[in-house]
Structure 1
Amino acid sequence: MDLQKLFKNFENLDQKEVKVTAWTKSNRLSGKLGFLEINDGTYLDNVQVVYKKNIIENFDEVASLRLSSAVEIKGMLKLTPSAKQPFEIAAEKIEILKTSDEKFPLQAKEQSLEFLREIAHIRAKTNYFNAIFKIRSNLSFYIHEYFNANNFVYLQSPIITANDAEGAGESFTVTTIKNDKYDQDFFGKKASLTVSGQLQAESYAQAFKNVYTFGPTFRAENSNTSRHAAEFWMIEPEVAFSDLKQNMDLAEDLLKSIVKKLFVNNINEINLLSTKNEIDLETRFKEIIEKEFFRITYTEAIDILQKAVKSKKVSFEINDINWGMDLQSEHERYICETVYNAPVFVTDYPSKIKAFYMKQNADNKTVAACDLLVPGVGELIGGSQREDDYQKLVNKAKEFNIDEKDLSWYFELRNFGYASSAGFGLGFERLIMYLTGVSNIRDVIAFPRTPKNIKY
């Protein structure tokens, strides 16, 4: 029986024999009495196992067990309402399945996150990372569940692609040759790891109306910040017959739905991370669930920042705030953390700082785009209504130096009954950071890929 089932049913198992397999978390002696703390990874809390010298044949071996040794415990479950734990197991037999080496790097003392990043293959054994990756797993399930319940088709978009959806040129090349003669390569042309599944999702939205992708994406951006990784996961819904407002409604509803479920089902993990990260996650969750997200235009955001600088209420690293600039993380966080203290959609960005596929507004200066800014993270979601005019799209691509022939299939969609379409990209790791209070993206990915780092 795993520990999760024990904790759910312990009241019905009083004075009954149970058998569990787990790893040792602590081991202490008091004369002829020993106390093992064990955990099998299925539940955050440990179970105390009491073992006695006159009962356990291999008492001396058990007494010398190191942390992370694998054991099988058979014994009687006993309720302990007056103790810290609700129950314990009085061991009748302890089988040592595998002892842990004395070099095992995790000890009972607190260890820094920097140190734990160096042993990413072991850090999940800590309660801190156990909580993070339980939340990551459950969030994945809730996202799929939400889209399934709302009649979305799940599209597994390709990981290897011939286009750079963002036009930024920060993609990894996939090749079997040692030169740049890509016409002689495996695919007969240059291929890359995908930076987004959006373009493929658009084509399927024109057939199914509601689709979404959820998979790994890659950016060859030489950035070592706490918010960037070379490999990360994206959720990208795309909806035909939709506009920018409906797109923001969908994003807000998705977040509220999955956060409600997480708050109910992962409260133990949330409480642990609140304490460890010194942040009131319960209040953050309630604000997401109960409050409507604010919506302001890019022009209004610039005005807010200019007034803040002028009044000397705040000093940014970049204080030269002007219309047309790309907002930096410090600006985004000031807006959502200080001004609104809540999630904020910023809309209608200058066309020159956004992707070529975004729909031009009537003013010919801005596009129907939105970014969702959240406290502690900054930009969490980026989305837009897509340009549905063939010629405007082609012209915009030329401005971005994108070769028309490379995306002829994508442009062609506009000539075959293209219904207005809108979608967004939700950075999965940034979502986890937001909901756990974790400040470094390296701590919410099992084996992070960052510049000069690919140990595993």
Structure 2
Amino acid sequence: MKHTKVKDLLSSTKTLNEVNAKGWVRTFRNNQFIALNDGSTINNIQCVVDFENTPEETLKRITTGAAVSVYGELVESKGAGQKYEIQVSRLEILGDSDAEKFPMQPKKHSLEFLRENAHLRVRTNAFGAIMRVRSVLAHAVHNYFQEKGFVYVNTPIITGSDAEGAGEMFKVTALPFDGTPRTEEGKVNYKEDFFGKETNLTVSGQLEAETYAMALGQVYTFGPTFRAENSNTSRHLAEFWMIEPEVAFNDLNDNMDLAEDFIQYVIKYTMDKCGDDLKFLEGRLVEEEKSKPQAERSEMTLLEKLNFVLENNFKRVSYTEAIDILRDCTPNKKKKFNYIINEWGADLQSEHERYLVEKHFKCPVILFDYPANIKAFYMRLNEDGKTVRAMDILFPGIGEIVGGSQREERYDVLVEKMKVLGIDEEELWWYLDTRRFGSAVHSGFGLGFERLVLFVTGMTNIRDVIPFPRTPQNAEF
């Protein structure tokens, strides 16, 4: 007999004479009541065991975490909170379960403890909900771009270029650590390496995606990226996923329109598909907020925050206007900010971005036209010679969530910017070719997928929204 998912049993429109459900025991009470979950929903189905006719040895093996298969009748539940339950006629234990050693006991565990048990934490309600939301968000990303006629491009994971110019990259090599071949100058001889040159794990697929946009019109990447930044904050990972669309003939305004439409679409899609999970995560967040000082508590619940993004047009503000607002605001004058804004050219921090969104404009904000010296070399230089056609989208509770720009399409201007920044033209000869042959205005943006999952789930640490986090000194599992 084929088993039925718990989600489908709970949403059944009628009772059923014979069903089979398989899953993992969340709790087992009074030698009779199993709370069974199979991962298809945050909700458990109650299975009522005929303990008088079930061997005692079997009852002893029904422990938290055990995998079981139950057969029986789907009947209307006598208990509160669920429509149906299973009256069990036959039960099978599918595998061994050591109740005394199983870490995920039915009690509250700290997030730190759960990170140490990342291979099992998905069996908890919170992480089951987070990973289902993550899955639906990923599907929404592909849905959006495919419906809009974008071409999905798989850009290289191994690369010889540093798209961001940050230099914080993981090296890829087949050279031995002992007896590494050297040049006459004593440097590593990469000509003897696998690729014949120095290579790294990518920090972005943007540059390669641009080349495809110059032929296919509109493309997007959605893949893993890596950064060897020795940071242990709640916002950094060494391995993460990036969504990066690139569109030919789009200017900065078109880029802002695309980003706003995209992010509202994927959030609404996920809210429509993950109602139970988001409601649970909202309740979890409410309980977590109670332990915080009043001043640190969020003014919005999780669902209010998500609707805040859906129901408000994004306010578009120049960097220059934002600096004027921040310089004159009360937190800055009273030195409440950790980073005081004194002059134009300052690199905005999360506290400044959140002030603009949550206190001043009270809606999502898109900042544009940033100082050239705090942005990447590929962003289009404005006529004033000091700002570039960059854009950042700012959200409540998180600050920047999207970063993008109109790309510099002028060959001579791009070459000059690269010279000033010391970027090797020979290394990026292929990128410059797109400006030599059929160059056109084009734009794109990048959205860190984990940052999006963080916002939608209400979690506060990015290590809790990826299955197996990779951080400094941690590559477990």
Task: Find out whether 1:27 has 2:24 as its counterpart.
Answer: no
State the shift of 1:286 in Å: 1.7
CA 1:132 to 1:442, structure 2 compared with 1: closer, same or farther past 3 Å?
same
Aligned residue identity for 1:68: G
Give 1:205's aligned residue.
213
Give me the CA root mean square deviation: 1.4
Aligned residue for 1:98, secondary structure, equals: coil
What is the 5 A alignment of 1:125-144? 125-144=123-142
What is the 5 A alignment of 1:96-175? 96-101=93-98, 102-175=100-173
Q: Deviations over 1:382-405 (max 9, x none)?
A: 000000111110111122211110
Work out whether residues 235 and 427 of structure 1, in 8 Å CA contact, stay in contact via their aligned partners in 2. Answer: yes
State the shift of 1:54 in Å: 3.5
State the shift of 1:379 in Å: 0.9
Structure 1 stretch displaced more, 231-240 or 260-269: 260-269
Give 2:354's aligned residue.
333
Q: Deviations over 1:98-125 (max 9, x none)?
A: 1311211111111111111111111000
Return the match for 2:63 from 62, 66, 69. Answer: 66
What is the 5 A alignment of 1:47-86? 47-56=45-54, 58-80=55-77, 83-86=80-83
Give 2:193's aligned residue.
185
Work out whether residues 23 and 69 of structure 1, in 8 Å CA contact, stay in contact via their aligned partners in 2. Answer: yes
Distance in 2 separating the partners of 1:442 and 1:397 = 35
Task: Find out whether 1:371 has 2:428 as its counterpart.
Answer: no
Return the match for 1:233 from 235, 241, 246. Answer: 241
What is the 5 A alignment of 1:272-283? 272-278=280-286, 280-283=301-304
Give 1:6's aligned residue.
9
Task: Find out whether 1:267 has 2:288 as its counterpart.
Answer: no
Work out whether residues 157 and 200 of structure 1, in 8 Å CA contact, stay in contact via their aligned partners in 2. Answer: yes
Work out whether residues 243 and 421 of structure 1, in 8 Å CA contact, stay in contact via their aligned partners in 2. Answer: yes
What is the 5 A alignment of 1:295-306? 295-306=316-327
Aligned residue for 2:114, secondary structure, equals: helix
Distance in 2 separating the partners of 1:327 and 1:166 = 18
Aligned residue for 1:256, secondary structure, equals: helix
Structure 1 stretch displaced more, 148-157 or 312-321: 312-321
Work out whether residues 52 and 59 of structure 1, in 8 Å CA contact, stay in contact via their aligned partners in 2. Answer: no
Give 1:345's aligned residue.
366
Give 2:293's aligned residue.
none
Give 2:438's aligned residue.
417
Aligned residue identity for 1:378: G
Task: Find out whether 1:176 has 2:174 as its counterpart.
Answer: yes
Q: Which runs of 4+ in 1 moved over 6 A?
A: none
Give 1:220's aligned residue.
228
Give 1:321's aligned residue.
342
Residue identity over aligned pairs, in percent, reads 49
Give 2:414's aligned residue.
393
Distance in 2 separating the partners of 1:59 and 1:264 = 45
CA 1:186 to 1:76, structure 2 compared with 1: closer, same or farther past 3 Å?
same
Distance in 2 separating the partners of 1:436 and 1:40 = 21
Aligned residue for 1:336, secondary structure, equals: helix
Work out whether residues 51 and 59 of structure 2, in 8 Å CA contact, stay in contact via their aligned partners in 1. Answer: no
TM-score by length of 2: 0.92
Distance in 2 separating the partners of 1:371 and 1:52 = 60
Aligned residue identity for 2:27: S
Work out whether residues 139 and 258 of structure 1, in 8 Å CA contact, stay in contact via their aligned partners in 2. Answer: yes
Work out whether residues 66 and 99 of structure 1, in 8 Å CA contact, stay in contact via their aligned partners in 2. Answer: no
State the shift of 1:311 in Å: 6.7
Aligned residue for 2:439, secondary structure, equals: coil
Work out whether residues 153 and 220 of structure 2, in 8 Å CA contact, stay in contact via their aligned partners in 1. Answer: yes
Q: Deviations over 1:134-190 (max 9, x none)?
A: 000000001101000000000000000010001111111101113421111111100
Structure 1 stretches lacking a partner, 5+ long: none
State the shift of 1:347 in Å: 0.4
Distance in 2 separating the partners of 1:165 and 1:207 = 20
State the shift of 1:343 in Å: 1.5
Distance in 2 separating the partners of 1:397 and 1:8 = 59
Provide the aligned length of Structure 1 versus Structure 2: 450
Distance in 2 separating the partners of 1:198 and 1:442 = 24
State the shift of 1:433 in Å: 0.8
Distance in 1 separating the partners of 2:140 and 2:170 = 30
State the shift of 1:59 in Å: 4.4
Distance in 1 separating the partners of 2:472 and 2:113 = 18
Distance in 1 separating the partners of 2:213 and 2:436 = 15
State the shift of 1:244 in Å: 0.4
Distance in 2 separating the partners of 1:322 and 1:310 = 15
Distance in 1 separating the partners of 2:458 and 2:117 = 21
Work out whether residues 308 and 314 of structure 1, in 8 Å CA contact, stay in contact via their aligned partners in 2. Answer: no
Q: Deviations over 1:82-111 (max 9, x none)?
A: 622111100000111113112111111111
Distance in 2 separating the partners of 1:83 and 1:311 = 53
Aligned residue for 2:47, secondary structure, equals: strand
Return the match for 1:89 from 76, 86, 105. Answer: 86
State the shift of 1:340 in Å: 2.3
Distance in 2 separating the partners of 1:81 and 1:394 = 74
Return the match for 1:36 from 31, 34, 48. Answer: 34
State the shift of 1:133 in Å: 0.6
Aligned residue identity for 1:129: F
Work out whether residues 326 and 332 of structure 2, in 8 Å CA contact, stay in contact via their aligned partners in 1. Answer: no
State the shift of 1:64 in Å: 4.7
Work out whether residues 245 and 446 of structure 2, in 8 Å CA contact, stay in contact via their aligned partners in 1. Answer: yes
Distance in 1 separating the partners of 2:331 and 2:403 = 29
Give 1:289's aligned residue.
310
Aligned residue for 1:73, secondary structure, equals: strand
